Structure 1
Amino acid sequence: MSKLTPSEIEKLKKNLKEKGYKLTPQRRAIVDIIIRNEGDHLTTEELYDLVKVECPEIGLATVYRTVQLLEELGVVSKLDLNDGCYRYELVHENENHQHHHLVCSECGKVIEVQGDLLEVLEQEIESKYNFKIKNHSVKFYGICSECKKN
C-alpha cells in the first residue's frame, strides 16, 4: 500500500488552494480512502460507501464533486473498463503514463501491469505521425489465473 508523502500532501493542499479550494475533512477522508484502497479501482459509489463509515454526514454529491476535482488536479485518474462505471486510482508523481491493466472477463478482477511497455511503439508513432503523445491507456481482457483453474 502506497501513502502520499508529506510533500505530496503539501502539493495537493497548494493545488487546491491555488484553485480556490481547501483540503476539507471530507476531501481528506476521500483521499485517505483512495490511498488505503489503492489497487482496488473503486467507483464513486464504492468510495462513498467506504467514506460514509468515517464521515456519516457526507453526501454522494460531495464525493462526486471531490473525485472530479481530484481528477482535474491530477491526483487521481479515471479508468473506464467498459462495464458502465468509471473507476479511480491514484496518480503517482513518478508515472509518465497510466499503467496498463489486465481485466478478467469472468470475475471482473483488475490487475495492474507495472512498467510502461509501449515506449518504443510511442516513439515510432510520434516520429511517423509527428504527434506528441501525452498519455495512453491500455487494457487487456482475458481470464485471470483464478478463473482459469475453475
Structure 2
Amino acid sequence: MPDTEMLELLKQRLQRKQYKLTMQRRTVLEILLEHPGEHLSAEDVYGALRDKSSDIGLATVYRTLELLVQLGILQRMEFGDGCNRYEIADIEKNEHQHHHLICIKCGKVTEFFDDLLDELEADVAAKSGFKITDHQVKFYGYCKECQDELENK
C-alpha cells in the first residue's frame, strides 16, 4: 500500500478517535512509513527528523509516539535491551501482529508472520475465561550470520 494511502487510513483512524492528524503526528508517521520493518526508537525518529531539518523536539516525538500507541496506531516493542521501538500497527482488525526473531549477538531483528498459536490462544481463553485480543512472540537466539561467525572461531 503506498504511503499516501496508508497516511489516509491512519488519518481516518485518528479522526474516529476524535484526534486530528497534526503536522507533528503526520511527520512522525511519515518517518515510520519511510522505514518499514526497522523498529525505530524515539531517538531514531528524532534523528531522521533532524536529517530532514525538522524543528520537532525530542519531547514532542516521545509524546506523539506514546499517544499513537495509546490510540492503537503504533505498536511499542521492547527487544530485551531496555529500548522501546515503534512500528505501524496492523490495519486489519482481529489480525495478529507479526512476531520477531532477535539475535542476542548482533541485535538484528527479523519479522515472521506465521501464526501458529491460534489453538493455544483459544485453549487459554477457554480455560481462563480471559478474552485475548492479541499476542506477541519473541524468539531470542543467533541469526545465520552470527551462527556462522561463532562456528568459524
When normalised by structure 1's length, the TM-score is: 0.87
Which of the numbers 31, 38, 41 marks the counterpart of 2:39? 41
Measure, in 2, the Cα distance between the counterparts of 1:55 and 1:28: 15
Question: 1:88 aligns to what?
Answer: 86
Identity of matched residues, %: 46
Measure, in 1, the Cα distance between the counterparts of 2:56 and 2:114: 37
Measure, in 2, the Cα distance between the counterparts of 1:16 and 1:75: 8
Paired residue secondary structure (1:22):
coil
Paired residue secondary structure (1:108):
coil
Question: 1:124 aligns to what?
Answer: 123
Measure, in 2, the Cα distance between the counterparts of 1:9 and 1:57: 21
Question: 1:69 aligns to what?
Answer: 67
Question: 2:23 aligns to what?
Answer: 25
Measure, in 1, the Cα distance between the counterparts of 2:122 and 2:17: 34
When normalised by structure 2's length, the TM-score is: 0.86
Cα deviation, residue 18, structure 1: 5.2
The letter for the 1-side match of 2:37 is G
The letter for the 2-side match of 1:16 is L
Question: 2:99 aligns to what?
Answer: 100
Count of residues in correspondence between the two structures: 148
Q: CA offsets, 1:83-124, max 9 Å, x none? A: 111111111223622221110000000011113221111111
